[in-house]
Amino acid sequence: MLSIKDLTVNVGDKQILKGINLEIKAGEIHAIMGPNGSGKSTLSHVLSGKAGYEVTGGSVMYQGKDLLDMAPEIRAREGVFLAFQYPVEIPGVSNIYLLKAALNAIRKHHGLSEVDAMDFLTLVKHKVKLLEMDEKFLYRAVNEGFSGGEKKRNEILQMAILEPKLCILDETDSGLDIDALKVVAEGVNSLRSENRGFLMITHYQRLLDYIKPDYVHVLANGKIVKSGGAELALELEEKGYGWLEGQVAA
């Protein structure tokens, strides 16, 4: 579903990603772990098409198409979803309005008619319940005045409603207390399916207690320095990142 080859990315003159290789197949959950500043968010932004990053080499293929060629909204309509590390507040645009606009944009992209208003409400309310959120959130402006945890929950709510094919979660666990973490993890787990892939970016192993990854990769200084199974996360928890960062320097 996603194939990243030798991806190098600059911000200004500074090289941030230094040759990333990663294959994600439908049905798989990949976790990327790494210390702060290693390039995790940069990778998630480049995949979703944020401006300000210069791809200097390599390629990213998504479902057989060149992902880097697509405008951000086309990537989103094609099923790439990024749950932001820092979700943006959009005063004056309500959650429910954005959800409807997004869902209809996806449907239009696939040649479908607009969603029926009743069906839409039913769907949204069902997902709101799943994430143990208050329905009032739907009518509030996107993320405006939300606590850190509420913002993260809202990202997962959007994901649950838009049903993307490739879910990228950038440090969704940070800022969540343990109860909220469980709810969010349940939301994510309910979306697990054999035709959906996940790229979970996290700094800690905590989230992986609730969402078990198939593969774990360690990103350090712009490179994947080690890959393994779920057990690698536990090893990192124990030893920290120091021993791996050493490998890069060498």
Partner 1 sequence: MNTAITSRYVAEYDALAPTLPGQSLLWLQQLRRNALAKFSANGFPSPREEEWRYTNVSAIEKKLFTPSLNQLSNQVDANWLKTQQLADAWSVVLINGYFSIEYSQLEGLPESIVIMSIADALVKKSPLVESYAGQAVNHQEHGFVAFNTAYFTDGVLVHVPAKQVLTKPIQLLHIVTQADAMATTRTVILVDELAEAQVIETFVGLDNSYLTDAVTEVFVGKAAYLTLTKMQIESEKAYHFGGTYVRQAKDARFTHHNFAFGGLLARCDIHTDLDQASECELNGLYLGVKRQHIDNHTRINHLKPHAISREMYKGVLDDRAKGVFQGRVIVAEDAQKTDSQMNNRNLLLSDDAEADTKPQLEIYADDVKCGHGVTVGQLDEKSIFYLQSRCVDEETARNMLTFAFANEMVDKIKIKSLHDKVLEQVLVRFPQEGVEKDWL
Ligand X SMILES: Nc1ncnc2c1ncn2[C@@H]1O[C@H](COP(=O)(O)OP(=O)(O)O)[C@@H](O)[C@H]1O
Q: What's the token pair of residue 229?
A: 């199974």
Q: What's the token pair of residue 24?
A: 């994600």
Nearest to 120 by CA among 78, 161, 77, 165: 161
Q: How far is the CB of 91 from partner 1 (least distance, A)?
A: 6
Stretch that binds Mg ion, among 34-42, 76-84, 218-226, 239-247 (CB under 5 A): 34-42
DSSP assigned state of 67: G
Nearer to partner 1, 84 or 146 (CB): 84
Q: Which of residues 58-97 bind partner 1 (CB under 8 A)?
A: 71-73, 76-77, 81-82, 84, 87-88, 90-94, 96-97
Lay out the site mask for Mg ion across 157-196 (x = CB under 5 A, - = otherwise).
----------------------------------------
Q: How far is the CB of 246 from ligand X (least distance, A)?
A: 18
Nearer to partner 1, 4 or 162 (CB): 162
β-sheet with 223-228: strand ranges across: 80-83, 166-170, 197-202, 29-33, 215-220, 223-228
8 Å CB contact between 10 and 54: yes
Distance CA 74, CA 93 (A): 21
Distance CA 10, CA 56 (A): 7
Chosen residue from 4, 20, 41, 236 binding Mg ion by CB under 5 A: 41
Distance CA 155, CA 17 (A): 25
Closest residue to Mg ion, judged by C-beta, is 41
Q: Which residues bind partner 1 (CB under 8 A)?
A: 48-51, 71-73, 76-77, 81-82, 84, 87-88, 90-94, 96-98, 101-103, 105-106, 109, 139, 141, 158, 162
Q: Which residues bind Mg ion (CB under 5 A)?
A: 40-41, 85
